[in-house]
Structure 1
Amino acid sequence: MAEALVKHVRSSAERRQKAARSAGKSAPPVPDWFDPENILDGIHVYRVHDEAAQTAAIHSLPAFLKEREANGMPVRVVVIDSIAFHYRCAAAHYDFKSRTRQLASVAAYLSDLSANFDLAVVAVNQMTTKIGAGVGSSSGGGGPESDTYGDSRLVPALGESWAHSTTTRLLLTMDGGFQAVAMGLGGIEGGEGGATRRCRLVKSPHKPAGVAAFQVLEQGIRDAPPQPPSSMAMQRKRPRQL
């Protein structure tokens, strides 16, 4: 993936330089240090095994970020994958009111971290199944952040309290839903062995809602190939009312 990124950036830079020369201008070249090894050296991974370790790792970030800035190599994105896992694996006697307070505290802390260090924080939630009679009928009812299957629907695991604390929310799905995940189908309208996935913008302070199709390939994230007309027509076809 890093090699594909370097190749893409260098080819883009060459096109810009060619266009600039045609216009009698100049465009900056790609720096010599931009190679796969340096890209991978800039990725730092913290492995945590429980909620306490996750909280400690989050609160240790300011010192690490200051050190990187002092060395002239500032961090621009922090990814927590996932913020939900250790809270969902809590013991049966876990105090869920305490969990809500802790999540609110973590959300506020990460928001301040983003503002103070001029970086993006990506916190990955998980989806859980919510059972409800009547859900999944032709009238829908799953809401913008859910996928409906029969009498159950997928909803964000950490609930509305966490959802309200985020600035931007994205919902990632895979074409085929439960069937694609359960059967490990990798070629659903995907081409090149990659499943078609969709990124839905659910909440944003300055962008309208929308959906984009993509694939995760060996080279990284790529646009999904266009679907054939017959497939698109089948997706638009409404279920027959009996």
Structure 2
Amino acid sequence: MDLDQLDLNPRIIAAVKKAKLKSAKEVLHYSGPDLQRLTRLSSLDVQQLLRTASSCLRGCGVFTGAVYICTEDVFPDPRLQQLIAQQRRLRTDVPGDVVDRMKFGDHIFIEHVADVDALLECVRKKVPVLLSRGMARLVVIDSVAAPFRCEFDGAASVPRARRLQALGGALRWLSCTFRSPVLCVNQVGARPAPRTTDSLSRWFRGDAGWGEAVGSLQQLTPVCTFQVTEATEEQGAAPGPQSPWDERVSPALGMTWSHQLLMRLMASRHRLEDGGRAAPGRPDRTLRVIFAPHLPPSSCSYTVNAEGVRGTPGTESC
């Protein structure tokens, strides 16, 4: 977009042009301090410039699409339809007839991949097309470990590491280029405790999972690729350690994959009796920040019901 189209004081536009910046998009390539140095504008002027440029490029539309890449199982369409059916109840601020006319499912793009090559082709060729056209913003891979676990055994650690690095690089490129968050669902296994014979914990589809994020912070818009894991606590068991990371479990794919990530989150689930529900006042799930460059180790509790994910007020901790 040409600078003259921005709704700004002519003095600000003149200073931007004098700094040899030719478009609103080029303005957003710089940080606030860098723009102050280049344009010699005040901090308030630079903030106004950045807000106006980002608003004009974003436009009036809202990004409501997502790309969901399935590697383990078929996409959970019944659950999606259940969530869509609840939108009229959830969005009481929007007239019901307007919600009924919205085609929520039309904004979710689903791809099933069976191996590592198909996954890399998807994130390198197919996903960029959707993001570049503004048809989607969020990218979800469920799960990142499945194709690597099936294709590579312990003797193929070097080829697997190279492919993991290639995937991490492709996801970081998506995140930075299109300012899009990338969510990677991973899996977790239990580390054998001293003097016990505990076997590996159940995988994410049953009881456990590990989530981490890969990506970088883009100017003005924090974007990342991150991974989420869910672990289960037996009913009646003593609460787990209060530290941000439970040393009894370990995420899949090892250090090679961890080095590709920007954020790591851990979701713990309390196992209830068959047909049971969480006790009143006791949320059945906890989300912990294991690692993030901009956040301290912290946690909050939440529940998952027919309407979706609900945070529990007053459960945040550092």
TM-score range, shorter chain: 0.5 to 0.7
Give deviations 1:114-147, integer Å, cap 9, x for gaps.
11112110011110122252689x9x99974336
**One-letter amino acid of the structure 2 residue matched with residue 4 of structure 1:** Q
| 2:120 pairs with one of 40, 43, 55 | 55
Q: Which residue of 1 aligns with 2:256?
A: 161
The 1:99–1:35 alpha-carbon spacing in structure 2 relative to 1, beyond 3 Å, is farther
Q: Distance in 1 between matches of 2:136 and 2:283?
A: 31
Aligned equivalent of 1:234: none
Supply the distance in 2 between the matched residues of 1:40 and 1:130 (Cα, whole angstroms).
40
1:226/1:175 Cα in 2 relative to 1: closer, same or farther (>3 Å)?
Answer: farther
Matched, 1:131 2:221: no
Structure 1, unpaired ranges of 5+: 14-29, 148-152, 228-242
Match 2:309 to one of 217, 221, 229: 221
Moved more, 199-208 or 89-98: 89-98
* TM-score, normalised via structure 2 length: 0.51
Equivalences, count: 191
Change (3 A) 1:41 1:184: farther
State the Cα distance separating 1:204 from its structure 2 match. 1.5
Once residues 133 and 197 of structure 1 are traced to their aligned partners in structure 2, the CA distance between those partners, rounded to angstroms, is 27
Tell me, what secondary structure is at the counterpart of 1:119?
A: coil
Pick one of 156, 168, 171 that aligns with 2:266: 171
Tell me the C-alpha RMSD between the 2 structures: 3.5
Separation in 2, partners of 1:39, 1:143: 39
Q: CA deviation at 1:199?
A: 0.7
Amino acid at match of 1:64: L
For residues 208-238 of structure 1, what are the alpha-carbon distances to aligned partners after superposition, in whole Å with 9 as ceiling and x for unaligned?
22111111111111135999xxxxxxxxxxx
Alpha-carbon distance between aligned partners in 1 of 2:280 and 2:250, rounded to the nearest angstrom? 25
Contact 2:244/2:289, CA 8 A, preserved across alignment: no
Q: How big is each residue's C-alpha offset from its partner over 1:146-182, in whole Å with a ceiling of 9 and x where there is no partner?
A: 36xxxxx321112223223211111011024xxx5xx
Using the aligned pairs only, state the percent identity. 27
Normalising by structure 1, report the TM-score. Answer: 0.65
For residues 104-123 of structure 1, the aligned pairs below 5 Å read: 104-123=165-184
CA distance in 1: counterparts of 2:276 and 2:124, whole angstroms: 38
Runs of 4+ in 1 over 4 A off after TM superposition: 30-37, 140-143, 183-186, 224-227
Contact 1:145–1:155 (CA<8 Å) still a contact in 2? no
2:245 corresponding residue in structure 1? 145
Rounded Cα–Cα distance in structure 1 between residues aligned with 2:101 and 2:184: 26
Q: 1:58 and 1:117 mapped to 2: Cα distance?
A: 13
1:2-21 aligned within 5 A: 2-11=84-93
Distance 1:217 1:108, change over 3 A: same
Asked whether 1:210 is paired with 2:293, we answer no
Q: In structure 1, what residue type is equivalent to 2:146?
A: F
2:172 aligned counterpart, secondary structure: helix
Match of 1:42 in 2: 107
